[in-house]
Chains A and B, each alone.
Chain A
Amino acid sequence: MKHAISRRTFLKGSLAAAGAVAASSIPLPTAVRGETGEELATLIDIRKCIGCEACVEACKEVNAPKFPEPKKPFPKMYPSRVKVSDWSDKRDDMDRLTPYNWVFIQEATVTVDGREETYTFPRRCMHCQNPPCADLCPWGAARKLKNGITRIDADICLGGAKCEKVCPWHIPQRQTGVGLYLEVLPALAGNGVMYKCDRCYNRLEEGKLPACIEACPENVQKIGPRNEIIKEAHAIAKEINGYIYGEKENGGTNTLYVSPVPFEKLNASVEKGPGRPGLQPVKDAMAHADNLAKAMVIAPIAGIAAAAGKFFAASKRATRHEEGKK
């Protein structure tokens, strides 16, 4: 990365370093470390974000060992409609989600009480409570962990991008030329590996905060048990007469935002597209599966009842037949 050290970068770095020192000196509460079995959620207070991208840089640095190192040239894939997704020459891109950029700063300019205001806020995986990516991954590569993290296992993923399609925010991003598919049938199946925020699961295991939270000089983000994070989000929303995103979206997520302006306004303003998720209302994508799963419990009972009914009816008929003979 070629970066000239500007005054802004220096200040940003200093603030981040100070924030990191401050954060690392505080022992993490037990609940934050994921010991209690409760799902952990993060709260992003968008009033505090100054858009310095310290979180983005920290994420890139800390997660660099997890980033893909694709083999080139890529194997030819069939049929021709299968496109290569190659971000390996654009590793420094920071203005959207990519396999090398798992968090980015989104900007929204909205009019509040006749005044134009600009808000910035980090965007990354929402870590849904009922994640469609994990529920629908045909290989079990995407999984939800007990502490509320949804992870994609890069050793298993074949890069079919189903997770990206079924994700209401289309978060996971593909890199071609890496992963298990190369060992199977690279020409005919798979297309790389999907990457997204894993909320620094390995740092949490070590008792550290996720990099984006630790590096933030403004303490924009918090992490804690979901019910406490919800309480805090409501307390802030009440105090500022604000709004919450993530409590109900897609049936509830473990990334929550609190904002002084409605999310419809923010959603209308943010640049949306591939790698740039919106802040739209999202219905619970997996609700149908939960309802149908309940029906699956009832179905065998109905089948047994039908067989029993048939048996007793036939037995009755047989008894009548026998009695008739007598």
Chain B
Amino acid sequence: MTSHVYEPTMGRKRLKWAYIGIFIVMAFTGFGQMPIFKRYYISDIPGLGWSADFYATHYIHYLGAILLLGLLAYWIADYFLGGRREFHLTASAYVRIVLLGGIVVTGIFRVLNPTTIVIFEDLTSFSDVRGRPDDFSPGSTLPHQVRTGYHTA
């Protein structure tokens, strides 16, 4: 019906390769967030010395995330504006979308780290304490969960 809107161009192929490239970089720098590259000699490989620098891998991972978010937003918008009239997504595509969505959403939560911490901390003692100022005075017996907090070391 509207095949003229959506054409399989070189541009699309280039974007696909860009996506694969970004994904490889994201996976590598993502693993680099764990302290394993130095332990397992990855950073000893010539040219990969930077991979043991947590700030470097973090910076590159964030740059990759910017490109990935831009690319995914482009594809989603492109699909709803015209693509869905041109082709159908396969079952495998839906599975991949869900998996990728999971990675992206957890990544967003990780970037919003302070907020995430606050979400966790709402389960903990300080919010309880704030909620019960009258119960809280030096020497008073506080409810058990207030005194122990989210973790007793």
Give chain A nearest CB distance to B44 CB in angstroms: 10
Quick check: B153 and A66 within 8 Å, CB to CB? yes
Measured between alpha carbons, how far is A82 from B40 in the docked complex, in Å?
9
Q: Which residues of B contact A301 (CB under 8 A)?
A: 73
Q: Which residues of B contact A134 (CB under 8 A)?
A: 113, 117
Quick check: A289 and B62 within 8 Å, CB to CB? yes
Q: Which residues of B contact A206 (CB under 8 A)?
A: 138, 142, 147
Count: A-B pairs, CB below 8 Å: 163
Q: Which residues of B contact A34 (CB under 8 A)?
A: 126, 129-130
Is A295 located at the chain interface by the 8 A CB criterion?
Answer: yes
Is A304 located at the chain interface by the 8 A CB criterion?
Answer: yes
Quick check: B73 and A300 within 8 Å, CB to CB? yes
| Secondary structure of the A contact surface, majority rule | helix
Assuming the contacts A205-B146, A311-B78, asked whether A304 and B73 have C-beta atoms less than 8 A apart, the reply is yes
Give chain B nearest CB distance to A41 CB in angstroms: 16
Is A8 located at the chain interface by the 8 A CB criterion?
Answer: no
Is B41 located at the chain interface by the 8 A CB criterion?
Answer: yes
Q: Which residues of A contact B138 (CB under 8 A)?
A: 24, 27-28, 206-208
Measured between alpha carbons, how far is A147 from B105 in the docked complex, in Å?
27
Measured between alpha carbons, how far is A24 from B153 in the docked complex, in Å?
24
Q: Which residues of A contact B54 (CB under 8 A)?
A: 136, 162, 165-166
Q: Which of A37, A79, A285 contacts B39 (CB 8 A)?
A: A79
Measured between alpha carbons, how far is A300 from B77 in the docked complex, in Å?
10
Interface size on A, residues (CB 8 A): 64
Quick check: A317 and B4 within 8 Å, CB to CB? yes
Of all chain B residues, the one with the shortest Cβ separation from A313 is: B5
Q: Which residues of A contact B71 (CB under 8 A)?
A: 303
Of all chain B residues, the one with the shortest Cβ separation from A321 is: B4
Quick check: A146 and B126 within 8 Å, CB to CB? yes
Contact with A along B27-45 (1 / 0, CB 8 A): 0000001111001110000
Q: Which residues of B contact A81 (CB under 8 A)?
A: 39
Quick check: B62 and A292 within 8 Å, CB to CB? yes
Give chain B nearest CB distance to A320 CB in angstroms: 11
Within 8 A of B (CB), among A117-157: 130, 134-136, 138, 140, 143-147, 153-155
Within 8 A of B (CB), among A272-301: 285, 288-289, 292-293, 295-296, 299-301
Q: Which residues of A contact B39 (CB under 8 A)?
A: 79, 81-82
Quick check: A79 and B41 within 8 Å, CB to CB? yes
Quick check: A155 and B151 within 8 Å, CB to CB? yes
Measured between alpha carbons, how far is A321 from B34 in the docked complex, in Å?
55
Quick check: A205 and B125 within 8 Å, CB to CB? yes
Q: Which of A24, A65, A66, A299 contacts B73 (CB 8 A)?
A: A299
Q: Which of B6, B121, B147 contacts A314 (CB 8 A)?
A: B6
Quick check: B55 and A295 within 8 Å, CB to CB? no
Q: Which residues of B contact A22 (CB under 8 A)?
A: none
Is B66 located at the chain interface by the 8 A CB criterion?
Answer: yes
Q: Which of B35, B59, B114, B121 contacts A162 (CB 8 A)?
A: B35
Q: Which residues of A contact B111 (CB under 8 A)?
A: 289, 293, 296
Q: Which of A198, A300, A308, A317 contacts B70 (CB 8 A)?
A: A300
Q: Which residues of A contact B130 (CB under 8 A)?
A: 34-37
Quick check: B40 and A79 within 8 Å, CB to CB? yes
Is B25 located at the chain interface by the 8 A CB criterion?
Answer: no
Is A4 located at the chain interface by the 8 A CB criterion?
Answer: no
Contact with A along B52-93 (1 / 0, CB 8 A): 001100110011011101111111111001100000000000
Give chain B nearest CB distance to A28 CB in angstroms: 6
Q: Other CB < 8 Å A-B pairs besides A198-B153, A304-B74, 8 of them? A: A134-B113, A147-B126, A154-B153, A162-B35, A166-B54, A205-B125, A307-B76, A314-B7
Q: List 13 A-B contacts (CB under 8 A).
A: A24-B138, A138-B34, A143-B120, A146-B118, A160-B35, A162-B54, A293-B112, A295-B66, A303-B70, A304-B73, A311-B78, A314-B82, A318-B5
Q: Which 10 A-B pairs have the closest CB atoms?
A: A303-B73, A307-B77, A300-B73, A160-B35, A303-B74, A207-B138, A299-B70, A292-B62, A66-B153, A303-B70
